[in-house]
Chain A
């Protein structure tokens, strides 16, 4: 029982990370049809700069972590918005080229990060409490999992509120539903493109800082590591669906943990098989709209 509980909560923690990356991917794809390969780069740069600032302010304390998280979110949002504004926008409506641009950006940025911060992972310090465990029903659960789950829940809530309660949220939801109709009504959807990129980038930036807490290090490959699973989550959840992404992140991560524990470390393979199965049985994903 305690093992199952441990696996479930660890899975939820990992799922929280996946969700932070996948939420942006899913919104961006849903609204703009862009498969954003550079999303991992947003995450990595945010993790690096968040760490650089955080350790200068106050290394290994809650205050330092909070500063890292804020800086990470801002960096992620700014880099993502700049990417959209300077690169993606030029290729409006040409989805393959847009995806190609992000591929190039991902390749170039990983190389640049390696050049600046080196190829080896850099181990980070974190607040004392996060290195300890809490006992729940006999299961000793690392405390950082709770932080991850809480952050992801807050982000999910914030994005849902934003989408449901604000005018821009309304435009974005309408744009995902039917972009040409929104344009026909005289609303410039393109302005919300930058916004969606910024939101996705901020979520990914927070994810980057939290990933450095979860893994205990920052490296140039942090983003690409998470990106593949975020893609899988996005597709299983249904492209463009935030709820789908949330459910799929949890499902994928928990499944991965269980397979890793009970099936001899085959978590990655099981997830891939799950993706293939979902796509073949239900090509639009769990919550995706009908194509």
Chain B
């Protein structure tokens, strides 16, 4: 939005506004889940973080070449396709959670329709690969073309939904997004013209997909693709968050009235955040289609959005890497708990313990409730909590609470 605002002072004002609100948020209580890791840290800290981040990505990237076995956490050594598939799925969910966090955590937009855009990416690419195939084009070009078509579709869908939904705020906004997502979900299940596969789901038409991304033996490549998507989403989110638009969005979340008084219209910034986050979700959705060689109607449901919300809160709303940690922890837990549910150990327990423990979602739901009650900063907030000592729940500011 600031690009259009070329009258000298306005952008500076916006920065000052957001910074003051930021400082306000940090000043009142150190353990607020919205504080970004200490501002007062030495100038060397970003460099350490940068090197650490790069090192982490490199380690993750060479994981398929190693044979690390973590019993209980991973189903097998890291070079096996099953483990790689699981890790890749976890990273895509993390990417989706990151995009959701940008909307919910940064801009304070509580959307119940994020699954719609993930599904738009997955189903969009699936259908584009099936129907958008000019015979004379080479298959690589068709593949790229399908990706571009899906991206454009995702952006248009996000712009349409966003421009309508952002006309209202708070709970109404959540409901409009829920309504659109529900409409999308119904449409996918209804299977118009046999295009979406209905309840069965859509299976990937591999005619035009590069060979390197097809088959169990190439799970490695899909893993790298998922890692690439995660890094890409992270960088875009980082860029948006550091930009002026990101600061305005943050300030709007804290106090929309003040932002308006200063003379900035929050609508365009919110719209921008909504479209970018939704498009990133569509990108993650495309990765999901390629990884799973298909899409199931489950990814379009409101329950799926709620899962993403749970992941973001579990990881810590106030931290970018919280969403990543949440996504990976949640996916691994879900998978391992499902494996545990079928194990002999559980089968041998009395019914009172066996029934709850054999339902992964029950354990995850309970865990989530405990995190909301006792760990407001989420998993990523634990170090901060330890550093600042045990504190009571940070009081939520009225504007945010009412949003």
Contact = CB atoms under 8 A, between A and B. Distances in A.
Contacts of A105: 365, 369
Instruction: Report the 9 A-B pairs with minimum CB-CB distance, sorted nearest first.
Output: A108-B365, A111-B361, A107-B365, A111-B362, A104-B368, A111-B359, A104-B369, A115-B355, A115-B359
B110 A96 contact: yes
B209 interface: no
Interface residues of A, number: 43
A142 B164 CA distance: 40
A47 interface: no
B310 interface: yes
A272 B403 contact: no
B180 A276 contact: yes
11 contacts: A96-B110, A108-B364, A109-B362, A109-B365, A111-B361, A114-B359, A116-B355, A231-B175, A265-B190, A268-B182, A279-B172
Contacts of B364: 107-108
A276 B362 contact: no
A111 B360 contact: yes
Given A107-B306, A272-B180, 11 more contacts: A96-B403, A107-B303, A109-B365, A111-B360, A115-B355, A115-B359, A235-B171, A272-B182, A275-B175, A275-B179, A280-B168
A35 interface: yes
Contact of A269 (B183, B358, B365, B396): B183
B187 interface: yes
B204 interface: no
Interface in A107-124: 107-112, 114-116
Interface string A107-148: 111111011100000000000000000000000000000000
A53 B51 CA distance: 63
Contacts of B310: 100, 103-104, 107
Chain A interface SS verdict (over half): helix
Nearest to B177: A276
B70 interface: no
A33 interface: yes
Contacts of B368: 100, 103-104, 107-108
How large, as a class, is the contact surface on chain B? 35 or more
Contact of A97 (B175, B361, B396): B396
Contacts of B95: none
B396 A93 contact: yes
Contacts of B400: 96
B401 interface: yes
Interface string A84-95: 000100110111
Given A108-B361, A108-B365, A228 B180 contact: no
Given A95-B401, A101-B373, A112-B356, A107 B182 contact: no
Contact of B402 (A91, A95, A100): A95
B403 A104 contact: no
Contacts of A108: 361-366, 368-369
